[in-house]
Amino acid sequence: MTTFDDVVAFHGHTCPGLALGYRVGEYVIRNFSPRAKDEELVAIVENDSCAVDAIQVLTGCTFGKGNLIFIDYGKQVYTFLRKPDGEGIRISIKWESPPETPEEADAWRKYQNGDSSEEVLRIVHHRKTKKLKAIFEASTDELFDIKEVRMEVPRVARLFPSLRCQVCGEKVMETKARVKGGRIVCIPCAEEGKL
Ligand SMILES: [Zn+2]
Ligand SMILES: [Zn+2]
């Protein structure tokens, strides 16, 4: 079983978002589907926060494999679909962090404004630890609303032949190529000023 430390090692730091993602991923692999080796499990994530890193590590639904689909709704909702039988679960985070004390609120405001004095850091760190602890101690019911769903896996075709951009000479997937001035070019070359 992937531990929270494994996830922290991947993500780079520990944070409440990562912990929530860990709880989501843990729930999924314990109750819904084993970790995906290939694409038998698909995750549809409605945000691109820290939580998604934990979900990728635990469930094996990853950006590179194409079984992690990001829909930018800005919601803490994660849907998992099992390809073999078409069953799905939709996990919506309903957990609320413990209320901030006035002291914590004040320290956080100072921290956001660039104050990294020892006192401010101590309070901010303590608040984070408290949140992490609360997330790991909460029951599934306190954390999530879980619904069974049935839906088609959104089709995201990803592999296409490559063409060569006639401006920069780099390879570009056929579906992403543009025509500009009668030449086949990549998007950055078509739209100068883009990355
Ligand atoms: Zn994070
Ligand atoms: Zn180009």
The yes/no answer on whether domain 4-95+138-150 falls in CATH 3.30.1330.130 is: yes
pLDDT > 70: percent of the chain? 96
What's the CA gap between 178 and 190, in Å, rounded? 7
Q: Ligand 2 centroid vs 178 CA: distance in angstroms?
A: 10
Closest ligand to C-alpha of residue 167 is 2
CA triplet 66, 69, 75: central angle to 5 degrees?
Answer: 160
Q: Ligand 1 centroid vs 50 CA: distance in angstroms?
A: 4
Residues 6+ apart with CB under 8 A from 167: 183, 185, 186, 189
CATH architecture assignment, domain 159-195: 2-Layer Sandwich (3.30)
Residue 148's DSSP bridge partners are 89
Residue 194, pLDDT above cutoff 80 = no
Residue 84, pLDDT above cutoff 90 = no
Report, as an integer, the average pLDDT of 36-56.
95
Q: Ligand 2 centroid vs 193 CA: distance in angstroms?
A: 12
What is the residue-averaged pLDDT of the chain? 92
What pLDDT score was predicted for residue 161? Answer: 85
- Residues of each domain in the chain carrying CATH 3.30.60.20: 159-195
Q: Ligand 1 centroid vs 43 CA: distance in angstroms?
A: 19
For the segment 140-181, what is each residue's pLDDT rounded down to a tens digit? 999 999 999 998 877 765 667 899 999 999 999 998 999 998
Q: Ligand 2 centroid vs 168 CA: distance in angstroms?
A: 4
